[in-house]
Amino acid sequence: MAKSKVFVVGATGYIGRRIVKASLAQGHITYVLQRDEIGLDIEKLQMLLSFKKEGARLIEASFSSHQSLVEAVKKVDVVICTMSGVHFRSHNLLMQLKLVEAIKEAGTVKRFLPSEFGMDPARMGNALEPGRETFDQKMIVRKAIEEAHIPYTYVSANCFAGYFVPNLSQLERLTPPKHKVCLYGDGNTKAVFMDEEDVATYTIKTIDDPRTLNKTLYLRPPDNILSQRQLVEIWEELSGKKLDKFNISGKDFLASMKDVDYAQKVGIGHFYHIFYEGCLTNFEIGEEAEEASKLYPEVNYTRMDQYLRMFL
Ligand code: GFR
């Protein structure tokens, strides 16, 4: 079977740039959206040029021109959208509805992967305000995809390591705390942490795989199912330094939402679902879904001790 041609929308973003690399590395003809709205964003432009140098093909189009999107998606077999859903960056998830419209009209796309790559929004029907906006919008996009009968795969990538691992899952920082660490509840709730390159590798692996057609692919490799306490212990072992640990109850953690800005409120809600409710691991992956490390055992996924070595 010929390798599908891929179109990445959101290619300059945190996960999109890795998906472009993985797509090229796995031998796909890879197209990348260059939005007309790029304006004076020279870093984005230069990143796009660097993709071109590596073999990607740039397509100029605009979300304000339906026809330009239709023409773009007609060139390819698979569309991957990695538009941001993180509030302190940009939050454009509903713009994907325009992409869905274009894919519907083109009628030639064999698989669409919308911007998901986190918790499974279908399981977040009771999520807290205001963070539930992320899941509600992802569900609106899913509904549009399914109503248009567009073939899809939803990738549930759980926690991107960069936001959750080096900081030992402390909010409002990305680097390891030096002295003390706050444990959520007893610190024993299991979460799932993923190296971002591995998210991209598994995502590209799945685009031509009939086993994940119209399904959710969970990235839940066994060695990366860890509690916050285990993460802290891995770091203490690596750094050779013990941290002071204190615990915060779910109630106190939620109360901290009161005096922070919108993006932080969203973060607190999301962290609550992950570290108190255990939303990433409190369910079995059933018949109607697949798990990536089972489907693709040849991928030697990054373990979190390895990831943390970058910070020594
Ligand atoms: C690390 O510090 C923070 C991280 C912070 O101070 C505030 C918010 C974050 C979170 C974001 C919350 O919107 O980093 C990434 C993002 C969390 C997130 C995780 C969002 C959607 C998801 O589906 C998800 O799944 C694990």
Probe target for ligand 1 pocket from 138, 139, 142, 163, with the most ligand atoms within 8 Å of CB: 163
Provide the pLDDT confidence category of residue 2 given band limits of 50, 70 and 90.
Answer: confident
159 pocket-lining for ligand 1 (C-beta < 6 Å): yes
Average pLDDT over residues 217-229: 99
Bridge partners of 290? 217
Provide the pLDDT confidence category of residue 50 given band limits of 50, 70 and 90.
Answer: very high
Residue nearest to atom 23 of ligand 1 (CA): 118
| Distance between Cα 3 and ligand 1 center (Å) | 33
Q: What is the chain's alpha carbon radius of gyration, rounded to the nearest angstrom? A: 20
| Active site (catalytic) residues | 138
Q: What is the pLDDT of residues 82-130, one digit of tens each?
A: 999 999 998 999 999 999 999 999 999 999 999 999 999 999 999 999 9
Provide the pLDDT confidence category of residue 41 given band limits of 50, 70 and 90.
Answer: very high
CA angle 181, 269, 283 (to 5 degrees): 95
Has residue 1 got a pLDDT over 80?
Answer: no
pTM: 0.98
Probe target for ligand 1 pocket from 15, 83, 86, 275, with the most ligand atoms within 8 Å of CB: 86
Residue nearest to atom 14 of ligand 1 (CA): 163
The strand ranges marked E within the chain are: 6-9, 30-35, 57-61, 78-81, 85-86, 90-91, 111-113, 153-156, 159-160, 180-184, 190-194, 215-218, 225-227, 244-248, 289-291
H helices of 6-160, where? 16-25, 42-53, 66-74, 96-106, 132-147
Q: What is the pLDDT of residues 52-80, one digit of tens each?
A: 999 999 999 999 999 999 999 999 999 99
Spatial neighbors of 286 by CB under 8 A, at least 6 apart, are: none
